Structure 1
Amino acid sequence: MNLSESTSMNMIKIIAVPMHKEGRKFVAIFAAITVALAFLWEPLFWLGCGATVWCYYFFRDPVRVIPQQEGLVLSPADGIVSLIQDVVPPKELELGDSPVTRVSVFMNVFNCHVNRAPIAGTVRRISYHSGKFLNASFDKASELNERNSLMIETKAGVRIGVVQIAGLVARRIVCFVREGDSIEIGHRFGLIRFGSRLDVYLPEGVSPLVAVGQTAVAGETILADLATPHSVRLGVAE
């Protein structure tokens, strides 16, 4: 295979990414509107085509290579690590009243929005709260916005909280699992439509291995290692 053929194959892999089934009806709606616009004014048709392609891209569900080392905590979302703070976890997670480290990953409308389990274990708690739709990058979005909270417990008894938070545009949080379900690390557990954020609450004494501003990839980026103590990682943008 020559360089040109290799480049073409890589482009096909980037463009022809599988779409999650949650996006089918939205792409169909966008496509139907686009057809209707074609009868009104041709430039609107091409704008509709662009919007339909974007909608397909938004609901993409790419294959990920999931690290299998025991004790790893993976990012549940694609996006930017927007906040790393020590906070008291939400009561619905049942993680106690002591401050723990919260790692927030902010997803914009161009990120993949399929959410993946940060650890393997049993889903012990799921709690949905309706709320506002503030910009998900704001710290107060953790308390005020619509959210869906999950607490996952490993076989070793370690508990981690992961919270899906709706954003300024998002209006629908989807969760694929139920209380009592077993889930493997990196497996899909939910999706948030059109912009949002995920918070991960690490166990007490566990420090993150990512820095604010770092790009995270769901199911691949290592947020923390439960087996080995580390100091907080800092980063500098260049």
Structure 2
Amino acid sequence: MRLHREGNTIILTTSAVLLAVNFLSYKYLFAGNATAIYATAGISLILFLLVVQFFRVPDRQLTINERQIVAPADGTVVVIEETEETEYFHDKRRQISIFMSPINVHVNRNPISGIVRYFRYYPGKYLVAWHPKSSTENERTTVVIEAKNGVQVLFRQIAGAMARRIVWYVREGEAVEQTSEMGFIKFGSRVDVFVPLDAKINVKMGEKTKGGVTVLAEMN
């Protein structure tokens, strides 16, 4: 396991703040009160570990298969439905949505290999990630990748109530590899994936996904 580079500044800042708090508690705030000092140290350690675990990148055997659409994120499947995709396709697609809680790994990965045909970033609100309007009103990105067989898959990074920054590493027109890192969402979020109607869905509601591992669907 390694720590993601997006966490470097936050982890260092958190460490500095917690060290300062513990120094002040030992020297001034709770001087002579061993119970309070130990409690402060214990709480600080828990907070530090919570921040560190958020930026973890576990070692995994990633799924590479040109006919499969893999999960771009860790989380829980909260939506599987036929819907009208109105931003790019302007037709019906099958939507699969994955909710990412603060304790999930928050690296986002490309679901297929191909060419990035479309990319947009939208600033917006920070509604809770499971809110029906979060996919159209929250801070978000939209990415469309076209596989070599011509099939296009659209997916969105959507900020949640706690998230305040979406990071992406893809650009329109570039080639990307399946399961390679495409971005990161900080502190709670959601990813929507839109696949063709004739794709075979391999997950069910409530299922836990692993980014780059779980197969969401298979292309015909």
Compute the TM-score of the two structures, normalised by the length of structure 1: 0.84
Local SS of the residue matching 1:133: coil
> Could you tell me how far 1:207 is from its partner in structure 2?
3.8
Local SS of the residue matching 1:143: helix
| Counterparts of 2:179 and 2:190, CA distance in 1 | 17
| Counterparts of 1:77 and 1:21, CA distance in 2 | 17
Contact 1:163–1:200 (CA under 8 A) maintained in structure 2:
yes
The CA RMSD over aligned residues, in Å, is 1.2
Give the equivalent residue in structure 1 for 2:85: 89
Give the equivalent residue in structure 2 for 1:37: 21
Local SS of the residue matching 2:11: helix
> Could you tell me how far 1:137 is from its partner in structure 2?
1.5
Contact 1:59–1:112 (CA under 8 A) maintained in structure 2:
yes
| Greater fraction strand | 2
> Could you tell me how far 1:209 is from its partner in structure 2?
1.1
Q: Which amino acid aligns with 1:87?
A: T
Q: Are residues 1:25 and 2:9 paired? A: yes
Number of residue pairs the alignment of both structures matches:
208
Give the equivalent residue in structure 1 for 2:73: 77
Local SS of the residue matching 2:117: strand
Over residues 200-228 of structure 1, what are the superposed CA-to-partner deviations in whole Å (9 max), with x where a residue is unaligned? Answer: 0002322421001000000000000003x
Give the equivalent residue in structure 2 for 1:49: 45
Unaligned runs of 5+ in 1: 1-16, 228-238
> Could you tell me how far 1:75 is from its partner in structure 2?
0.3
Give the equivalent residue in structure 2 for 1:67: 63
Contact 1:118–1:186 (CA under 8 A) maintained in structure 2:
yes
Unaligned runs of 5+ in 2: 26-36
Q: Are residues 1:221 and 2:214 paired? A: yes
Local SS of the residue matching 2:3: coil
| Counterparts of 1:185 and 1:53, CA distance in 2 | 31
Compute the TM-score of the two structures, normalised by the length of structure 2: 0.91
| Counterparts of 1:170 and 1:159, CA distance in 2 | 28
Contact 1:30–1:48 (CA under 8 A) maintained in structure 2:
no
Q: Which amino acid aligns with 1:162?
A: F
| Counterparts of 1:68 and 1:36, CA distance in 2 | 46
**Which range moved further: 35-44 or 124-133?**
35-44
| Counterparts of 1:50 and 1:85, CA distance in 2 | 39
Local SS of the residue matching 1:109: coil
Local SS of the residue matching 1:142: helix
Q: Which amino acid aligns with 1:175?
A: W
Contact 1:22–1:59 (CA under 8 A) maintained in structure 2:
yes
| Counterparts of 1:69 and 1:122, CA distance in 2 | 16
Give the equivalent residue in structure 2 for 1:193: 186
The percent identity for this pair of structures is: 37
